[in-house]
Amino acid sequence: MSALIQLDHIHKVYDTGAVSVHAVRDVSLSINKGEFVAVMGSSGSGKSTLMNILGCLDRPTEGHYLLGDVDVSKLGRNELAEIRNEKIGFVFQGFNLLSRTSALENVELPMLYGHRTGGPSERERAQLALEKVGLGQRADHHPNQLSGGQQQRVAIARALANEPSLLLADEPTGNLDTQTSVEIMGLFQSLNEQGITIVMVTHEIDIAHYTRRNIVMRDGRVVSDQPVDKRFIATEELQKLREEQKAVQLAGEFSPSSKSLCGPCAEIRCALC
């Protein structure tokens, strides 16, 4: 399988004047097409800086970054903007949706900066992207009319709008509850099975277990790079959550404290009463 991402001895140093901060130190790795990778690490480990470099939002101080067959580490600002628009989709923790704009129009936004000609219209492509994430019937809804999970699905559809070769997700479940987080990971697993390459930053170990490969960073270096053992499958985990919720509901229904007293016999109400 060919590499989509190739990092060769990447360094990133921020010069703040009195102090130089070495955020990424000599990172070399490759990510093949179709992989699903989690980048993990504590605050200050360099994972966010590495994600910015992968997303062409920042340039490395030293080293080479090849995206496909293009050395993006040496590109200018305008060229990097084209790469971001055409080859990379971004998913953020805070959704970053326009509040006064419908789901469909939010998804259309990246297409306004593209140069594609022919084929389906921007509106048709946006609708297809929403259908891909299960929100085809919510196209005319505004963000305040959607749940957190639905807003994140719109954000994922927006990231897919220009059919990128790489999807970057920065803490995509950070603002979501447990069940919604698993649902979003199920969507990512489905997209990955369709061949989309996904790189995700997360600090949640359980969320990282839905990916296929975990990269751990510390002090700007990669200290671990391993395939995921006993990978979580979102559909299975969702079923377990539903069964747990059902068990809790049943326990509540049969708890003495939750039952009313029967008037005639002054006993806890039973089926006969």
- Residue 143: name the closest of 172, 109, 100 by CA: 100
Strand 3-15 to 62-67 pairing: antiparallel
Residue 138 CA to residue 79 CA, distance in Å, equals 35
Using an 8 Å Cβ cutoff, are 42 and 201 in contact? no
Position 248 scores a pLDDT of: 85
CATH of 33-52+85-232, one of 2.120.10.30, 3.40.50.700, 3.40.50.300, 3.40.50.10740: 3.40.50.300
Strand 20-32 to 3-15 pairing: antiparallel
Residue 107 CA to residue 156 CA, distance in Å, equals 9
Position 273 scores a pLDDT of: 46
Domain ranges of the chain: 33-52+85-232
Position 272 scores a pLDDT of: 47
Question: Which structure tokens are listed for 64?
Answer: 């080479």
- Residue 145: name the closest of 192, 97, 189 by CA: 97
Residue 228 CA to residue 37 CA, distance in Å, equals 9
Residue 1 CA to residue 114 CA, distance in Å, equals 29
Position 260 scores a pLDDT of: 52
Using an 8 Å Cβ cutoff, are 188 and 194 in contact? no
Any bridge partners for residue 69, and if so which? none
List, as one string, the DSSP characters of the chain: --EEEEEEEEEEEEE-SS-EEEEEEEEEEEEETT-EEEEE--TTSSHHHHHHHHTTSS--SEEEEEETTEEGGG--HHHHHHHHHHHEEEEETT----TTS-HHHHHHGGGGG----SSS-HHHHHHHHHHHTT-GGGTT--GGGS-HHHHHHHHHHHHHTT--SEEEEESTTTTS-HHHHHHHHHHHHHHHHTT-EEEEE-S-HHHHTTSSEEEEEETTEEEEEEEPSS---HHHHHHHHHHHHHHHHHHHHT-GGGSPBPTTT-SB--S--
Q: List the pLDDT tens digit at each of the 273 positions of the chain.
A: 689 999 999 999 998 888 899 999 999 999 999 999 999 999 899 999 999 999 999 999 999 999 999 999 889 999 999 999 889 999 988 899 999 999 999 999 988 876 666 567 889 999 999 999 999 999 999 999 999 999 999 999 999 988 899 999 999 998 899 999 999 999 999 999 999 999 999 999 999 999 999 999 999 999 999 999 999 999 999 999 999 988 888 887 766 655 555 555 555 455 444
